[in-house]
Amino acid sequence: MKDIKKGFLRWVSEENFLQTKENVIYAERIFTAYSIAKWCLGQKNKEQFTDTEVEIYALVIRQFLQKELDLFWEYDKLYMNFEGKVSVISEEKKHESGSISHTI
């Protein structure tokens, strides 16, 4: 779990998703993005996600951090709001055998 956190923090720093002003770090959206990344990699470790699905989630997380879309958890489901259209893109506790690429 520490490796996931370190890797994620290194990635958001390299991609300039963290802003620093007067010794204060502003990390808007980082906590939600980290929870999604951690969950996604957990699914990969349980062999419920393929490498391709993980890559798709990474792209979605990037779009979220760039404020191109919104992501949020509600009742163990991950929702995406893109251009005013809200849809469930996955569930936290289980994942159906179908590919997420059909719903993203």
Task: Name the pTM for this structure.
Answer: 0.77
How far is the C-alpha of 35 from the C-alpha of 84, rounded, in Å?
A: 23
Q: Domain residues of the chain, as ranges? A: 2-102
Mean pLDDT in residue range 41-63: 92
Q: What is the pLDDT of residues 55-76, one digit of tens each?
A: 999 999 999 999 999 999 998 8
Distances (CA, A) of 75 to 28, 49, 63, 72, 99: 22, 21, 23, 10, 21
